[in-house]
């Protein structure tokens, strides 16, 4: 059996890696059950916390998947700063979202998701250059955008 997503998928594909998940405490039993199902308890651990109140766990690579679009700009910047603070020099932050294309004409899903977030009064989706600029503002020395599959892309920032 292969893990279908998240840290389990990366861990099953790369036996030399270890990692974990960071989320609110009620998620821990779900995470641990998932990890045990794939025999990864020796390499994946859960860290309970609230990313606004607690420091992020230290790691060589941090991944924020479909997180930043939920929040207003000040909160986005705070989360990016916390990621920067948790990374060692040379470490990377990967932000994957339905990144809106630079011309705002092609990723209809990203545009509609952003409209939905604005209607709900929460956050907003963004372009690759937007995210790269916020990363630079908090100290990341370099960054780039890479298209994934479907409407998703990732912005990688290097500390």
- Hey, where are the domains in the chain? 1-49, 56-158
Contact 11, 19 (CB under 8 A): yes
- pLDDT given for residue 2 in this prediction: 41
- Predicted confidence (pLDDT) at residue 122 exceeds the cutoff of 90: no
User: What is the tens place of the pLDDT at every residue in 29-71?
Assistant: 999 999 999 899 999 999 999 999 999 999 999 999 889 988 9
Assigned superfamily of 56-158: Vaccinia Virus protein VP39 (3.40.50.150)
- Predicted confidence (pLDDT) at residue 142 exceeds the cutoff of 50: yes
- pLDDT given for residue 1 in this prediction: 40
Average confidence (pLDDT) over 140-153: 90
Contact 94, 64 (CB under 8 A): yes
User: What is the tens place of the pLDDT at every residue in 15-25?
Assistant: 898 899 999 99
Q: Which residues are marked as active site?
A: 69
**What phi and psi, each to the nearest 5 degrees, are found at residue 70?**
-75, -10
């Amino acid at each position: 059996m292969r893990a279908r997503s998240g840290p389990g998928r990366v861990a099953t594909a790369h036996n030399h890696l270890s990692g974990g998940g960071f989320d609110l405490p009620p998620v821990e039993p779900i995470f641990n059950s998932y990890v045990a199902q794939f025999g990864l308890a020796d390499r994946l651990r859960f860290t309970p916390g609230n990313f606004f109140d607690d420091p992020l766990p230290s790691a060589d690579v941090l991944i924020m998947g479909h997180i930043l679009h939920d929040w207003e700009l000040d909160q986005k910047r705070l989360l990016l700063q916390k990621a920067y603070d948790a990374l060692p020099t040379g470490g990377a932050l990967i932000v994957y979202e339905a990144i809106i294309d630079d011309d705002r004409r092609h990723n209809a899903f990203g545009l509609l998701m952003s409209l939905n977030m604005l209607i709900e009064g929460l956050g907003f989706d963004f372009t690759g250059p937007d995210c790269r600029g916020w990363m630079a503002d908090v100290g990341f020395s370099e960054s780039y955008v890479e298209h994934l599959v479907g409407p998703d892309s990732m912005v990688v920032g290097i500390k």
